[in-house]
Structure 1
Amino acid sequence: MEYFIVVAAAVALAFIVHVNLDAGVARRVLPVLLAAFAARLAVHVLVMRSGVFDYGGDNMGYESRALGIVEYWKREGFQFVTAEDMSYLASVAVPCQVFAIVVYLCDGPAPLACTAVVALLACALCVVVYKFARLIGADDRAAFMLLVVSAFMPAFLLHTSDTYKDGFNAFLVVTSIGLGAAIARRFDMRRLLTLALLLWALWYVRPYMVFMCAVPLILGLAGLGKAFSMRRVFAFAVLLAFALLTFGGVYDGAPTGVIQEQLELGQSEVIRRANGDGGSGVDFEDGGNPWNAIGPKLLYTLLSPFPWTQGGPVLQFGKIDVLIWYFLLYNAVRGARRLWRQDRVTLLILLSFVIPGTIAYATTMANMGLIFRQRIPIIMVTSVLAAVAWTKEARDGEQPAGDVVSPGFDRTGGASNAQAGPSTVTRVDG
């Protein structure tokens, strides 16, 4: 059954590509994504589960929780299980539930099948990234280049080659931001309903990311640059409140209290010191105040591990990723300058996620290995701007082509109206 699920995931990937992209685009995209899918399974077998290096741990924890959910289902019946039912689920109910379904179908642990599901989600995100780039004005060539780069970005590849929740988080965040940009162009109730579903799922993956997405989504729904529409704002407010208040029972207390609690916990000196223990820790001289030394913290949040940093094999692997990120960041700045001339509303939507998100992560910065993973959604959203820079200047005046897609989005593809494991601890004076 485990191998059947792997094959089914590959077939589902082909279906997603052909449904969401035009035939000509799909013919070029599908081989790339099938290769990316296979690469993730290979890394899972040959690296992650072979003992080549000691990395992770939370992936095993999610599998263990999935086994616990299956036992709960056998006793209580099939249902969505939250932290109210099993306290150790905390904020990872959706990934663990998905893994539990796979475990249930396989009648026991099935890490390869679970990884196939994560790999499918990662490849679907690459389709979303392609459509996102097309939406904001990138041409087909540039958007395809971005899809290829995204599919094989080392950090993204590594953390979607096992049962981590980073793939779930990146897919939900990037797709939500893309929907916000799409709604800013054309309000559609179907998109809004899809957005509410995505935010609900995101609440059970990383609750604080819902709030990090809130500002760009509100800007998109407010329809900046167009006549102000209370209908947009009211619809968004009602659906968001319904999603958070009805399904937000990950923790006790109001949703606004959850984000404050999580931020304070992440910024606490105890947690930062705990995260700083081990090979990839970074100790800032900030006097215990998370907002002090913000400059060096931002530098490490965005650009570490640096090429000259000494460390173990995983840190060296991280350097490959960060060099690609430097290239993307440089081109994203160029793309932002071009988008400033063409579509300031969309640029504002993107920056309203990237800038506050980076600052929030900087206040909790204590470990390059954690940042290696946490900044994946920020890298994904920022890199969409790089595709704008790669678009030929002659096409600057053209209308944006394509709409962001994921299951349930419009189908377009051509021109249309759419831990790191270093072995050293670094001290940084603030």
Structure 2
Amino acid sequence: SVEGSTGLIASLFNGIKVTQSTMSEVMALIDSSNTKLEYSSQELSNASKKLSESSNLQAVSLEETAAAIEEIASTIKQSSANAQKMTTHAQSVTKANEVGKNLAHQTVKSMDELSNEVNSILEAITVIDQIAFQTNILSLNAAVEAATAGEAGKGFAVVAAEVRNLATRSADAAKEIKAIVESATQKANMSKEVTDKMLQGYNALDDNINQTIGLIEEVANATKEQQNAIVQINDTVNSLDKATQENASLASNISVMAQNTQELVEQLKNAVSNTTYNELSKKRICDPALIFTANKLKSDHIVFKDNNFNNCGIGKNFTVKTHNECDLGKWINAHKNEKFAQTQAWNELLKVHEDVHAKVQKTVDLYAVGASNEEIFTYTKDVEQSATKVFALLDKLREINCENKS
């Protein structure tokens, strides 16, 4: 700026300074954002590489898992088929066991019938033995009578002897038959005992078969549940595999985006390196919206001063906007509870801003009463100085705001 300038010339220089400040802060914001973007793009690139690598590893693991699940599913399916065969075999064994039990029952029944028949034979043999005994006695009596008869009884004696021989042979045969029958009876009883034990064995076998069938059914049900679970797991693994492939594709796309971003960062870096800006601007760019708000308020104050000065003239009495009515005043009232409003710089801004409005009003009044140019110039110079202080304090408050946020 030109030292001591006022009016339109001062406004021109102040406008240029506001524009330069805005451009400098925008360039600082671009530079700062570009640095962050460079770091973020590098992080994004690294992350995409890691995601791609982990996705590939996960894809391999999922393929191995899918193969293992397929093998398990095949084994479970075979186990289910074997369980079904075992059930069929067990049912066949049950039927064979029932047939065996029925045959054993029939054997016991036959043995009982045989025992009854043998008892009948024994009774008949007893009768035969008794008859032979009595026949033998009668033959002896006949022989005695024949001997008593002498010659007349010789023939009868021969017959009596033959009868006695037959009786003896009959008694001997009866004894042999009785011995055979008793042996057969003993063996029949032993067979019956064996058959009874067979029945007990069949009954025990029947219980074991039923328990085995129950276990086989449990195994079959468990195998079926495992089959269903394996199907669900297989579906889940397929879904994960699909998601992994999508992640791998996404990682590839992100990698391309990161590379493009890095190229853009490099272009911006080259553009910024070919320009210059005030390094102090970096201290007040944490709030991008406030960059344009603050510089607009500065421009509005220049326009406020110019409009009022342009309307000045002898006899022209009017009242300018107060420090609460202008846009800066409204902004001050809206932000009075902010942390940066609790500082010395804020208090100075309130005082200097109010002073600007008071001095503009004083300048208008001096023009109206036809005061000398020297007196008017004194106040217009004070207005320019106060306005410059307002602009500097706005920058200071933005620096304080950024310090509070860091």
TM-score range, shorter chain: under 0.3
Q: Which has the larger radius of gyration?
A: 2
Q: RCO greater where, 1 or 2, for CA within 8 Å and sep 6 or more?
A: 2
TM-score (normalised: structure 1): 0.20
Higher helix share: 2
